[in-house]
């Protein structure tokens, strides 16, 4: 099976997820700055989730760039990833509604952790299909970022009950790690 529709469908779902989060930014009835003030935590959580979904999209883009075909297992591994991503708007809204309270921040970490695991499963399904000596397997290499992120989430989840702002800072650290350019796949494909 060709990868075209898997890409198109994933693009559609991710585009919708990244956009419907903005609906949580409810238009205030007041016409002044005071009306915007209660929206600050909603806005902050929106920015963080926009970046995380953006990271997943660019990674997904790179991943599928390195392969040519897919099978039924890959389709479902991909749907499984999209399922966890689809919960990000919900936990984002929960964080915004409760100004970064403990449970919302912890559940945010749980959803990110599940998404990270789902992404790992998708990677494995693709390598199983293309072989350990494929461009993809070489490009991913030891995949340090992919392995370090779940550790951060596992630390942040209990930390949220001690200090939710520190836990949120850990999520920001993960986002920054991913935003630092990582040319593994680009470089391997260029060879």
Binding site for a second copy (CB under 8 A): 1-2, 5-9, 11-20, 22-25, 27-33, 35-36, 47, 50, 54, 57-58, 61-62, 64-65, 71-73, 75-76, 79, 82-83, 86-87, 89-90, 93-94, 96-98, 101-104, 107, 179, 181-183, 186, 189
* 151 vs 158, beta carbon nearer a second copy: 158
Nearer to a second copy, 36 or 148 (CB): 36
Residues linked to residue 127 through DSSP beta bridges, in sequence order: none
Residues 6 or more apart in contact with residue 175 via CB below 8 angstroms: 48, 51, 52, 55
Which residue lies nearer to a second copy by CB, 18 or 118? Answer: 18
CB of 110 to a second copy, least distance (A): 11
Q: Which is nearer to a second copy, 1 or 151 (CB)?
A: 1
Query: Contact at 8 Å (CB) between 122 and 149?
Result: no
Name which of 14, 142, 151, 147 is nearest 78 in CA terms: 14
Q: Is 142 helix (H, G, I), strand (E, B) or coil?
A: coil
Compute the least distance from the CB of residue 28 to a second copy, in Å: 7
Shorter beta-carbon distance to a second copy: residue 59 or 151: 59
E strand or H helix at 38, and its extent? Answer: none
- In angstroms, what is the minimal distance from the CB of 153 to a second copy? 19
For 137, other C-beta atoms within 10 Å of its C-beta total: 16
To a second copy, the closest distance from the beta carbon of 190 in angstroms equals: 10
Minimum distance, C-beta of residue 147 to a second copy, in the bound complex (Å): 20
For residue 110, give the DSSP letter: H
Neighbours of 118 (CB within 10 A): 20
């Amino acid at each position: 099976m060709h990868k075209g529709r898997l890409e198109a469908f994933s693009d559609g779902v991710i585009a919708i997820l990244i956009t419907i989060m903005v609906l949580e930014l409810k238009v205030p009835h007041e016409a002044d700055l005071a009306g915007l003030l209660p929206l600050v935590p909603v806005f902050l959580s929106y920015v963080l989730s926009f970046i995380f979904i953006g990271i997943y999209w660019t990674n997904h883009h790179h991943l599928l760039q390195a392969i040519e075909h897919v099978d039924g297992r890959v389709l479902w591994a991909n749907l499984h990833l999209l399922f966890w991503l689809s919960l990000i708007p919900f936990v984002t809204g929960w964080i915004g509604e409760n100004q970064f309270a403990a449970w919302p921040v912890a559940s945010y970490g749980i959803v990110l952790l599940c998404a990270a695991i789902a992404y790992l499963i998708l990677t494995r399904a693709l390598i199983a299909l293309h072989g350990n000596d494929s461009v993809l397997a070489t490009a991913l290499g030891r995949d340090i970022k992919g392995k370090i992120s779940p550790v951060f989430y596992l630390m942040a989840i209990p930390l949220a009950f001690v200090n939710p702002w520190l836990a949120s800072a850990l999520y920001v650290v993960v986002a920054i790690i991913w935003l630092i350019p990582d040319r593994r796949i680009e470089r391997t494909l260029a060879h």
